[in-house]
Amino acid sequence: MESSNQLIAGIGLAGTARKSRWPARLDFIQSGTGLVLALFMWGHMFFVSTILISNDAMWTITKFFEGYFFFGKSYPIMVSFVVATVITLLVVHAFLAVRKFPINYRQFTTFHGHMKMMRHEDTTLWFWQALTGFALFFVAAPHVYIMLTHPELIGPFESGDRVWTGHYWPLYILLLLAVELHGGIGLYRLAVKWDWFAGPDPAATRKRLKTLKWALTVFFLALGFATLAAYVKIGIAHAPDYGKPYVPAALQAAPQGVNK
């Protein structure tokens, strides 16, 4: 008979060794990066949607992040540093998430079959989260890359030009749908997993959380599409002057220190 103290690959000595804590740690890092990204996304949607207030409001937010109101001069590179941090979080989060994807067609069909048979809503939600997460690999990449490499091209006209004449609007429709569904489901699953807002009746808590999740998703999708429509409108009107940056009326006489 084999000894119970034999070495099991990757685990240690059977019977004597503790199980590895790494799966739990990796799970925690995946949840943490997801939470930070979801909170970032809420902020991002509000900042970008300032275009719904006015061109000047969006310009002011942009220049704020470029340090213009602190240094009296714009440093778009400051935005690149933020983008680099967000990209790092995205890469870590995605790298850890692929551990949970079905790794071959057989696994996928088995999961899909179980999902259809069980009709368990939370399992179906997981499927959509995995699918939209996979889509985000592709649809988020062009956006974060252009933000990283051309942070100086953010502004009412600059963004409108990119969205319309630069043909980014189809990408943004897909990106918006993917990120809002993915983030909404992700936050809901985090709340269930870590017992946030838990009440005495777990079924009632889940129902409440689900309502909140859909309310947030609908809100951010509505805000996102209204914002996108505003950039499209500006982009169409500005197409004949493509490439000309926005300068607020108050600064048109003396655009000192503002980039371009």
Q: Is 187 in the site for ligand HEM (CB under 6 A)?
A: no
- Separation CA 213–CA 187 (nearest Å): 8
Question: Which parts of 158-177 interact with ligand HEM (CB under 6 A)?
Answer: 159, 162-163, 168, 172, 175-176
Min dist CB 10 to ligand HEM, Å, is 34
Query: Binding to ligand HEM by residue 157, rule CB under 6 A?
Result: no
Contacts 24+ apart (CB under 8 A), 40-43: 40/86, 40/89, 41/179, 41/183, 41/220, 42/220
For the bound state, the minimum distance from the C-beta of residue 146 to ligand HEM, rounded and expressed in Å, comes to 7
Site for ligand HEM in 230-259 (CB under 6 A): 231
Q: Which residues pair with 12 in a beta bridge?
A: 8
Q: DSSP alpha helices (H): ranges in 68-201? A: 68-71, 77-97, 105-118, 121-149, 156-163, 169-193
Q: Which token pair is 236?
A: 């169409």
List binders of ligand HEM among 92-131 (CB under 6 A): none
* Cα(232)–Cα(65) distance, integer angstroms: 23
Of 25, 79, 88, nearest to 48 by C-alpha is 79
Does position 83 interact with ligand HEM (CB under 6 A)? The reply is yes
- Count of residues of this chain found to bind ligand HEM when the rule CB under 6 A is applied: 25
Q: Which is nearer to ligand HEM, 11 or 39 (CB)?
A: 39
**Which stretches of the chain bind ligand HEM, using CB under 6 A?**
44-45, 48, 79, 82-83, 86, 136, 140, 143-144, 147, 154, 159, 162-163, 168, 172, 175-176, 179, 224, 227-228, 231
